[in-house]
Amino acid sequence: MSHPHPELGPPPVLPDGGLRIVALGGLGEIGRNMAVFEYDGRLLIVDCGVLFPEPDQPGVDLILPDFEYIRDRLDDVEAVVLTHAHEDHIGAVPYLLRERRDIPLIGSKLTLALIEAKLTEHRIQPTKLEVVEGERHTFGPFDCEFLAVNHSIPDALAVAIRTPAGIVLHTGDFRMDQLPSDGRLTDLGGFARLGTEGVDLLMSDSTNAEVPGFVTSEREIGPVIDEVIRTSEQRVIVASFASHVHRIQQVMDAAAKHRRKVALVGRSMVRNMGVARDLGYLKVPPELIVDSRDIEEWPPQDVVLICTGSQGEPMAALSRMANRDHPIRIAEGDTVLLASSLVPGNETAVNKVINGLTRWGARVVHKGNAKVHVSGHAAAGELLYVLNLTRPSNFMPVHGEWRHLRAHAKLAALTGVPEDHIVIAEDGVVVDLVDGRAKIVGAVHAGYVYVDGSSVGEITDTSLKDRRILGDEGFISVVVVVDSNTGKLTAGPEIHARGSGIDPAQFEEFIPQIQRALEEKAADGVVDMQEIRRVVRRTVGRWVSDTYRRRPMIIPVVLEV
């Protein structure tokens, strides 16, 4: 197996007839999926998603792929193929289109409708081409065939990309539910046909590569949801991804069966379900939906609320309910149903929400105590099935953390893919498919781009480090006034602290140490303001560390007279 290492340098010029693949996200992480394909000077992008921030990234709203690799070549981009409408595959599209608005977006009906609704908020009118499974379309040198795959959102697609360098099959996110609620199966016949034709490189979803067997069918979840709603004596509040149309359909069907009204809570939930309803993907019985603002007028036993926040997102509806920061108040006897999988890294946030809801008397039903969700990603048995159907010459696991990628690579080796034809890459690693072999040839920069409010890319890792220090250790500001000619202290120091846990009275005993340090520097003829700031910072930092074993942010302010 070939895999990246820190010594990788810039890639060489792509050989004639070769295909280059660079993932700008989605490798070694769950989210931010984006792959760039290059052939004969032209580019094709598959997916353009976001990553949601971790607790140690305070203030960050979203994390985008870094477009620097393609920024000077945006005119070479033929199209962006969107495999499905989850945020980790489409969320960064508005930010890409800010840089070139007329890049064609290629996707299924629901995928394009949901991204268009999102783009409206960014005041962008996209160029788009709607495709369906079984179709083939050419974008420059890229001949793309689209195949149906089953996932936790309708209308998901895999894409086979044909160039003179060979056939690449990109599965997107998929599973092999044999009894899907919408009747739309993963096109295993199409996969087998491509295998017969010859798949030169398979890029396959790795999210559940560590999970043995096959995923449970969606149909097994419906009766569980029905039972939860039937046995609940008060309101039922269901938290789900705002794009999980199948799950929302199951909740609505159960609510209608038990004569409860349904209210949608959360802007993205209302928007996405409106689009799904208008396009016929969501079947809503007459008079089932009521406005969430009128929900208090209905008896609790007659109500089901569907909201966002199943991942513990702090600003989502469910988290705000748990914190009593939402118009809808959790009451004793309410039932909260978390009808989604747990994205790795969100465990702490979700547990905090569960505890908050339980505090107010709610019964919380989640994946840990009931079968209320099945994964949208193929487990190991299904991944083996696809590997055997397609019999790829080369294999590259995608969409997953390192443990998922390596587990998937082991599965490929078990099916007979030679180990030196298995490529485990990470974001920014350059893979060339030349003469039937896929090899790592270099690396490009593919860092995180942080969205914080209206700013994009202005927050750096250094900024986040400062925020973490402020949040964990607080800060101390020290104001001194010095003579600009002699460097001598003329006033101060004046010390202020916030969140440092230090008694302000202790500073009075410490001030003489700062004064002595500055006097020594002045005696040495130091008048440089930057050096004086360093003296103050070092002196204060050493004292705080020795006395309190803490490392707050120290902000020296030096005024000249």
468 band by pLDDT with thresholds 50, 70 and 90: low
Q: What is the distance between the alpha carbons of residues 163 and 201, in angstroms, rounded to a whole number?
A: 12
With a cut of 80, say whether residue 36 has pLDDT above it.
yes
Contact 93/105 with Cβ under 8 angstroms?
Answer: yes
Average pLDDT over residues 453-462: 65
SS3 helix, strand, coil % of the chain, rounded to 5? Answer: 35, 25, 40
Q: What angle do CA 109, 111, 112 make, to 5 degrees?
A: 70
Q: Is 377 a catalytic residue?
A: yes
With a cut of 80, say whether residue 311 has pLDDT above it.
no
Q: What is the pLDDT of residues 329-358, one digit of tens each?
A: 888 999 999 887 666 666 777 888 888 888
Q: What angle do CA 441, 80, 308 make, to 5 degrees?
A: 110
pLDDT value for 346 = 67
Q: Please tell me which residue in 187, 205, 253, 427 is annotated as part of the active site.
A: 205
Mean pLDDT of the chain: 87
pLDDT value for 4 = 52
Q: What is the distance between the alpha carbons of residues 222 and 181, in angstroms, rounded to a whole number?
A: 9
Q: Is 205 a catalytic residue?
A: yes
pLDDT value for 351 = 82
Average pLDDT over residues 545-558: 77
Class in CATH terms, 461-560: alpha beta
Q: Helix, strand, or coil here: 157?
A: strand
pLDDT value for 365 = 87
Residue 233 CB-density burial (10 A; 0-12 exposed, 13-18 middle, 19+ buried):
exposed
Q: Please tell me which residue in 377, 404, 408, 421 is annotated as part of the active site.
A: 377
With residue 203 as reference, give the H or E element that holds it.
Answer: strand 201-205
Ordered alpha helix ranges (H), 280-359: 317-322, 347-359
With a cut of 90, say whether residue 82 has pLDDT above it.
yes
Residues of the chain within CATH 3.60.15.10 domain(s) are 22-213+375-457
The string over 459-496, giving b where at least 16 C-beta atoms fall within 10 Å of a residue's C-beta and e elsewhere, is beeeebeebeeeeebbbbbbbbebeeeebebeebbebe
Residues of the chain within CATH 3.40.50.10710 domain(s) are 218-365
Average pLDDT over residues 453-475: 65
Average pLDDT over residues 234-247: 88
Name the residue type at position 197: E
Known binder of ligand: residue 373? yes
Output 203 or 475, whichever has higher pLDDT: 203
State whether CATH 3.60.15.10 applies to domain 22-213+375-457.
Answer: yes
Per-residue DSSP letter, 28: S
Rg of the chain taking only CA atoms, in angstroms: 28
Residues of the chain within CATH 3.10.20.580 domain(s) are 461-560
With a cut of 70, say whether residue 56 has pLDDT above it.
no
Task: Provide the sign of the torsion angle of the four alpha carbons 228, 230, 233, 237, taken in this order.
Answer: positive
Name the residue type at position 194: L
Tokens matching residue 169:
């099959």
Name the residue type at position 481: V
Q: What is the distance between the alpha carbons of residues 250 and 148, in angstroms, rounded to a whole number?
A: 22
Known binder of ligand: residue 408? no
Please state the CATH superfamily assignment of the domain spanning residues 218-365 in this structure.
Answer: Metallo-hydrolase/oxidoreductase (3.40.50.10710)
Q: What is the pLDDT of residues 174-222, one digit of tens each?
A: 999 998 888 899 999 999 999 999 999 999 999 999 999 998 888 888 8
Known binder of ligand: residue 159? no
Per-residue DSSP letter, 429: E
With a cut of 60, say whether residue 2 has pLDDT above it.
no
Known binder of ligand: residue 137? no
Instruction: Match 């409106």 to its residue by tokens.
Output: 274
Compute φ and ψ for 469, nearest 5 degrees: -65, -45
With a cut of 90, say whether residue 473 has pLDDT above it.
no
pLDDT value for 328 = 86
Q: What is the pLDDT of residues 390-406, one digit of tens each?
A: 999 999 999 999 999 99
Known binder of ligand: residue 374? yes
Helix axes 267-278 and 245-257, enclosed angle (nearest 10):
90
